[in-house]
Structure 1
Amino acid sequence: MRRAPLLTLTCSKESLQGTWKKAYQDHRRKVQEARPLVDSHAQPTPSHLHLKLGKLKLEEGRLSVITRDNRLLLEKVSGILRPQAQTTSRDPTRRRN
């Protein structure tokens, strides 16, 4: 690792230069001792992305259409079977010509 250049100041007072030098050394020490800090946790997912209300609404509409179609189909089938039951209950002794 490269060494940092020495701090040269054009200050006449030695005490001020010593204070700055100490502050710079403290800074360099803190930089050397610094530990890497990485946040590897996943961000919390917002609740509206889990619930998906639009998809639930579409599914509910789809199921209501299926239920309505099933009911109509059942009514048609029962309407078809009802007259057959009436025709089979005719008098078997009567002959067709």
Structure 2
Amino acid sequence: MHRSYQPLEPVTSKYLQKRMDDNKYQQHRRKVNDAKPVVDTKGHKTPGHLQLNLKKLQMEEDRLSTISTDNKKLALKLADILRSKGQVDNWNDPPARSMNAQKRRMELLNVCHENQAILERINKRESDYRRELWEEDWQNTERILQDIARYPHGVPLQQVTSIIFKLYTGNLKTLLTQRF
């Protein structure tokens, strides 16, 4: 009895009820399999220009073409060496010289001479500034500052020496009553 079909509700035919329940279950399973997801989890489709890197392919093709041309040049040089019976090529091709090198050199010399002449004129010119006048003006300024100062310049050193002397001699009472 435990293996037999037991319907949830009381029925007249267990066999028919089992067939109807199986049909409902199969229909439910088909619906679940055919159901589309509500949330799209596929991700974005990668654009074509990102899937195929054309610039990289072009650079690789250029690199391979330069390698092949270099290989062809080397093969031609090796073939020439094999055909020439080992003769030495000792041609010394002179370097290409500029047609106006002399003119540029002369212009450079002229500029150097002009610069030296300007430097000499600058060195011969006397300065417009008079240092003696500046020093006199500074001495006058210091004299005026001493005249208007509340305490003359150099008095603090005399006061410090007198305080030390009074401390040394023991005249502390006169020191405390004295105002500075």
Q: Shorter-chain-normalised TM-score: which range? A: 0.3 to 0.5
Choose between structure 1 and 2 for higher RCO, CA contacts under 8 A separated by at least 6 residues: 1
Q: TM-score, normalised by structure 1?
A: 0.46
* Structure number, greater radius of gyration: 2
Q: What TM-score, normalized to structure 2?
A: 0.26
